[in-house]
Amino acid sequence: MAIAADTGSRQIPALDGIRGLAIIWVVLHNTAMPPASSGFWLHLLSLPASSGWIGVQLFFALSGFLITGGLLDTQGAPGYFVNFYAKRALRILPLYYSVLLVLLVVLPRVVAHPPFSTEHQAPLWLFTGNWIPVLPNGFGHFWSLALEEQFYLFWPLLVARLPPRRLLVACLWIAAGALLLRCVLAAYGADSFTLYANTACRMDALALGAAAACVLRIPALREELCGRLRAVGEVALLVFLAGIPLTHVYARDRLAGETFGYTLLAFSSATFVMWAALSAGRTPTLVGSLLAWAPLRFCGKYSYAMYVFHNLLHTLLGEPWLIGRFGKQPPPQVAFAYTLAVLLISYALAVCSYQALEKPFLNLKRFFEPRGRTTAVS
């Protein structure tokens, strides 16, 4: 997920805001418990939680945008591949493997009955959890990180050989291919997990985010869009809204939602990211001001660790306690307070993780900055 793709976001605060919005949405989705009572307002409030997986689509589009932009800007530089892979490893692996080591190796040796089975852990270590639906309890959300790692592995090979115009065309074909693949697999009875987590099936969000990065590096297209900035934002919103009735609110258990619904979300997410990038330095709009709001940007800054921690906290600790105390359907105020508590605790742990573990490794990225002339080809 674009959670760990921080390339270039320091220069555009709104992109950190988008990442913050996405992680809050994902945490809400993964930790919200169904309340005991029902009613119109409770149903209305539960809609963001039920559709919170859309935050992952935002992450994918943002990742495609940032990673591709950084690669295009360093085309032709010495150490193009080494620098990219080293910086990605320094960003992702220290926290990720530390969590696996503590929970899957150390904890079972010091605790008689850990709250999860350590079987089926190999896909976690190999970043293949998006291909295998059986993972240790609490680690299921790592599928998206596995998908991103696979994207990081092959994408630099493609970008290195193509200027922005040709890469833009390739990205559009890849996005169309992902949609076609999902339609074919669905027609032949593929399960929902495959359509949702398979790398090839979800490439449209990453590819369309990458396409947006290409557009901003083609001067004529960038100037055209800068002159129609409001229209760019409106298109992102209208496509998202149009998909709601067409896909039953982007339902992942319906054919429309898991085929062209994913692509509609990919397009609207990538367009939204592009709009935010183009809006940098201009008179802020209401949405732009919200994305630049400091608390949202702080969530974006620490979103990677928040993503790693939140579902482990919920599945291994919070949910068993909540069910034991209030049953499977807690009172509404308890359910909402619980979700907020998991969000805040995840944030606090993420800040600690960043300062104590991640930051020393991130400081090493300065040794892998491009040297010599870079060629952002147009």
Whether 36 shows a pLDDT value over 70: the answer reads no
pLDDT-derived band at 242, boundaries 50, 70, 90? very high
CA-based nearest residue to 335, from 350, 319, 349, 346: 319
- Residue range 310-332, pLDDT digits in tens: 999 999 999 999 999 988 888 88
Residue 327's Cβ-count burial label (10 Å; 0-12, 13-18, 19+) is: exposed
* Amino acid 39: pLDDT: 58
Query: What does pTM read for this prediction?
Result: 0.92
pLDDT at position 374 over 70: no
Mean pLDDT of 31-51: 65
pLDDT tens digits, residue range 332-361?
Answer: 888 889 999 999 999 999 999 999 999 999
pLDDT tens-digit readout, 111-149: 877 777 788 899 999 999 999 888 999 999 999 999 999
pLDDT at 291: 95
Share of the chain above pLDDT 90, in %: 77
Q: pLDDT (tens digit, 9 = 90+) per residue, 188-202? A: 999 999 999 999 999
Give the number of other CB atoms < 10 A from CB of residue 253.
8
Q: What is the pLDDT of residue 52?
A: 83
Residue 51 is predicted with a pLDDT of 80
Phi-psi region of 137 (alpha: psi -120 to 50; beta: other; left: phi over 0): beta
Q: Which of 238, 264, 239, 234 is nearest to 251 (CA)?
A: 264
Instruction: Please report which confidence band the pLDDT of residue 80 belongs to, taking 50, 70 and 90 as the band edges.
Output: very high
- Check residue 8 and give its pLDDT: 41
